[in-house]
């Protein structure tokens, strides 16, 4: 080496000192991130102790995800590490959210054994913007609740009902949103849900429908759950007594229509999906309790019919 440059490092010695490949250092040097401090008489790049520190800084920034352009801007003083780091935090947050969505979609695909077409639909539903998700829910509400004859205060509550996926959803929330979106986009579900709402929603100036307590007051479900826990059969005398205690004779037919409409619509499934999307705790799935109650109401009607015929 030229005696004048005896205290400087060749690119090979710099590679040995830093543990990085020569080709990496040469690339960084070509891009201006680690420029040589001098050239030998033969034109070889030479570096000093400051270059070693500079390489370590470049390596750190690269490991943190900085692009080489950003590294050069920081090293040249055109921006600060803090400013670039802030931009990278935002980019990483977006990437993490995207990865969570991808994970949720893939998990759902694996669980369902979905086809390629179903996978494409689920991925599209999962990646909708907040405005697009709101539009799906708003269209569902308009078709189901839009012209129902209901009290103004209740109508306002229904119209302000929101089902919002948070900015940083969990995989379970994304999975629940996919299933909910598929459900509310189904025309058949909308018809069934609307029928159920018509049978259960109080109209202005009228008494509460006989089936409404089943859905809007959880004590009906809790009563049935306690009876079922004791092993009471829905066709027995004790079940008939429970039914009489919950509904008057005049209310049973209406309660049964309401109950069967809700079971057919999957009202419990819808309720629990909404809670999952919101990240809320929900009461346990009461579908089996509701089905028991439907059988008990049918049995009570048959018994009553036989008594009236006799």
Taking only the tens place, the pLDDT of each residue in 173-191 is 888 999 999 999 999 999 9
Is 76 within 8 Å of 34 (Cβ atoms)? no
Taking only the tens place, the pLDDT of each residue in 25-68 is 999 999 999 999 999 888 899 999 999 999 999 999 998 888 89
Q: pLDDT: is 203 or 245 the higher one?
A: 245
Last-in-domain residue among 49, 79, 109: 79
Number of domains composing the chain? 2
Q: What whole-number distance in Å separates Cα of residue 144 and Cα of residue 155?
A: 12
Query: What mean pLDDT value characterizes the chain?
Result: 85
pLDDT, mean of residues 266-292: 91
152 and 261 within one domain: yes
Domain that holds residue 32: 3-79
Q: Is residue 7 part of a domain?
A: yes
Q: Is residue 119 part of a domain?
A: no
pLDDT, mean of residues 269-297: 91
Q: Is residue 294 part of a domain?
A: yes
Which pLDDT does position 306 carry in this prediction?
53
Taking only the tens place, the pLDDT of each residue in 229-259 is 999 999 988 998 888 888 877 678 888 898 9
Q: Band of the pLDDT at 303, cuts 50, 70, 90?
A: low
49 and 183 within one domain: no
Whichever domain contains 37, its CATH number is 1.10.1660.10
Whether residue 1 is predicted with pLDDT greater than 70 in this model: the reply is no
Which pLDDT does position 147 carry in this prediction?
75
Q: pLDDT: is 45 or 107 the higher one?
A: 45
Whether residue 307 is predicted with pLDDT greater than 80 in this model: the reply is no
Whether residue 210 is predicted with pLDDT greater than 90 in this model: the reply is no
Q: Is residue 37 part of a domain?
A: yes
The model carries a pTM of 0.67
Q: Is residue 265 part of a domain?
A: yes
Q: Is residue 89 part of a domain?
A: no
Is 64 within 8 Å of 88 (Cβ atoms)? yes
Whether residue 204 is predicted with pLDDT greater than 60 in this model: the reply is yes
Q: Band of the pLDDT at 309, cuts 50, 70, 90?
A: very low
Q: pLDDT: is 33 or 99 the higher one?
A: 33
Q: Is residue 103 part of a domain?
A: no
């Amino acid at each position: 080496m030229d005696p004048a440059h005896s205290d400087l490092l060749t690119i090979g010695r710099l590679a040995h000192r830093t543990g990085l490949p020569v080709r990496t250092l040469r690339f960084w040097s070509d891009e201006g991130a680690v420029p040589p401090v001098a050239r030998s008489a033969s034109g070889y790049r030479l570096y000093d102790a400051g270059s070693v520190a500079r390489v370590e800084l470049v390596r750190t920034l690269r490991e943190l995800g900085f692009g080489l352009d950003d590294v050069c801007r920081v090293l040249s003083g055109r921006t600060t590490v803090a400013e670039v780091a802030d931009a990278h935090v935002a980019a990483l947050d977006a990437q993490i959210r995207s990865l969570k969505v991808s994970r949720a979609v893939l998990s759902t695909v694996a669980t369902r054994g979905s086809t390629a077409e179903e996978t494409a639909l689920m991925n599209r539903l999962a990646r909708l913007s907040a405005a697009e998700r709101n539009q799906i829910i708003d269209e569902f509400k308009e078709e189901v609740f839009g012209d129902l004859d209901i009290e103004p205060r209740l109508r306002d509550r229904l119209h302000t009902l929101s089902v919002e996926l948070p900015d940083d959803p969990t995989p379970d929330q994304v999975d629940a949103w996919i299933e909910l979106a598929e459900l509310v986009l189904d025309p058949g579900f909308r018809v069934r849900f609307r029928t159920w709402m018509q049978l259960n929603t109080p109209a202005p100036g009228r008494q509460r429908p006989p089936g409404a307590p089943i859905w809007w007051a959880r004590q009906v479900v809790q009563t049935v759950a306690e009876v079922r826990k004791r092993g009471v059969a829905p066709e027995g005398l004790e079940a008939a007594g429970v039914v009489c205690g919950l509904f008057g004779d005049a209310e049973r037919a209406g309660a049964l229509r309401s109950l069967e409409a809700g079971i057919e619509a999957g009202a419990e499934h819808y309720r629990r999906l909404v809670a999952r999307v919101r990240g809320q705790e929900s009461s346990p799935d009461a579908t089996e309790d509701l089905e028991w109650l439907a059988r008990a109401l049918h049995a009570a009607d048959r018994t009553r019919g036989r008594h009236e015929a006799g």
